[in-house]
Chains A and B, each alone.
Chain A
């Protein structure tokens, strides 16, 4: 419990997608091929943030991927943020944007650049080593661990799900 198999990840990701479509959210399922772990959930959004020297409001475009981690047997959150001029945020800029209050020494354990398991490109990723523990704490096993995962870890990187995601009775 806590960790999940590739098969479970896949079926729960598809269930999550159905809920998302009912709620008119913009999640999609990306598929490179059908082998493990080449299918992942994707969504993108624009976020507004005050940054720069004169505190101007800047617009960022962020793409989130929820990918299955073969080594940890849990979902992992990968993402990439671009400025409005198209330039990519590096690790420092990402830390500053998403986790302005955390210390740099902690951040190395939270958010770093890692190889995307499907695309083989460097992506920002939230560390997965505690994910299984956290999911395990959900009393009875959570009906949809992919949904639990996204709702738990998304807010750390400004990915908020509507409250209505918790409403579906299908998982109980």
Chain B
């Protein structure tokens, strides 16, 4: 899957970017569940101050989903963090082995 220009600007590959620039960033692992399309590149590094809703929007844009569909993010098979939660806090609570494992699925939320 080719990366879109905006995704390159926003998220960067953990392997290809220099470590010094990347030191403060948080490594997240994205897992698809349910009927959502898979993103081939699973590991991303993210600015710790980005919010959960920012990641939701990113995946939504990346997969070019319909506006009526919504991306849901959750951790530990059970818990969906609040959209305004920042990744730093989430990592401090749920990070394992230097990574934050996030699951995502999509569905229509209403109607």
Chain A residues packing against B (C-beta within 8 Å): 106, 109-110, 127, 129-130, 133-134, 136-140, 142-144, 147-148, 151-152, 154-155, 160-161, 163-167, 171-172
Contacts and interface: CB of A to CB of B under 8 A. Distances in A.
Nearest to B89: A163
Interface in B63-81: 72, 74-81
B78, B85, B90, most chain A CB atoms within 10 A:
B78
A151 to B, nearest CB: 4
Interface-centre pick from B33, B103, B107 (highest chain A CB count, 10 A) = B107
Contacts, number: 99
Interface of B: 31, 33-36, 72, 74-85, 89-90, 93-94, 103, 105-111
Contacts of B94: 163, 166-167
B93 A130 contact: no
Given A110-B111, A130-B107, A148-B78, 16 more contacts: A106-B110, A127-B110, A130-B110, A134-B107, A137-B34, A139-B33, A155-B82, A155-B83, A160-B82, A161-B82, A163-B79, A163-B81, A163-B85, A163-B93, A166-B75, A172-B76
